[in-house]
Amino acid sequence: MASGSPLVLLPGTLCDERVWRAQINALSGGWEIIVCALGSEPTLAEEVASLLATLPPRFSLAGFSLGGIAALEFYRQAPQRIERLALIAANARADDEANHLPRRQLAARVAAGDLGRVLRDALLPNYLSSACRRSDALAGEISAMAEATAARFARQVEYACGRPDSRPLLHSIDVPVLILYGEDDRVCPVERQLEMAGAIPHATLHAVPACGHFVLLEAPDVCSAALTRWLEATRQDDRTTGESL
């Protein structure tokens, strides 16, 4: 039976709850799980403010890719409501201005019905490790999520382009943080993960070998176990100190 504060999951760009399927299955017996789609409001700050208005007073928060960027915005706006934080294949830096035009060109192509070629030519080649043994099947899963969420892509692109530099925020994060990533990630590479881990006071770094950006799908059991340890360790700490979840 689920107990304690809920766990809020934030999918990445062109993703839905299916990117978290293994983790939902592994964790739903111990935690109430809420999945929040991204891409309803014009800006990332407005999106997070809108979601905060609907969520419980306190919750644990895990974000994948763009969801990890959004998770940092959650902490910026409402640190008192975040019990613990997991950043998966994430990035604390602002977007390089040189990326803005190419991102928006991809969004325009998707809006014009060219999602298949955008996935094939621009996105999927960077998503999975070359060592992934299930790359064809996972590419199919990623494509299915993209087809279901394509209408949100333009706003998600604007979130990526307009995100603030969260590095000045990192040193003030005073909740337990899990930084989880694939060692072969070409989208949010290792140095971005090390940068966050070096700046956040209570960060645990977990690298997953032979995995790319979609580490949740490439190594679902490893990711589920890491998230379970992150949640359980904090729950045990709270029981030890007499605090209630």
Q: Which domains does the chain have, with CATH numbers?
A: 7-241 (3.40.50.1820)
Separation CA 58–CA 5 (nearest Å): 6
Give kind and range of the element (H or E) at residue 7.
strand 7-10
The answer to whether the beta carbons of residues 137 and 128 sit under 8 Å apart is no
pLDDT in tens, the chain (245 residues): 455 789 999 999 999 999 999 999 999 999 999 999 999 999 999 999 999 999 999 999 999 999 999 999 999 999 999 999 999 999 999 999 999 999 999 999 999 999 999 999 999 999 999 998 789 999 999 999 999 999 999 999 999 999 999 999 999 999 999 999 999 999 999 999 999 999 999 899 999 999 999 999 999 999 999 999 999 986 544 433 323 22
The answer to whether the beta carbons of residues 129 and 219 sit under 8 Å apart is no
Q: Work out the number of other CB atoms within 10 angstroms of the CB of residue 196.
A: 25
Q: Which single residue is written with the structure tokens 């979840």?
A: 245
Q: Two tokens at 240?
A: 């030890």
pTM: 0.93
Q: Which residues contact 29 (CB under 8 A, 6 or more apart)?
A: 1, 2
Q: In what order do the strands lie in the sheet with 82-88?
A: 33-35, 7-10, 59-64, 82-88, 177-182, 203-208
Q: Which residues contact 198 (CB under 8 A, 6 or more apart)?
A: none
Separation CA 162–CA 45 (nearest Å): 9
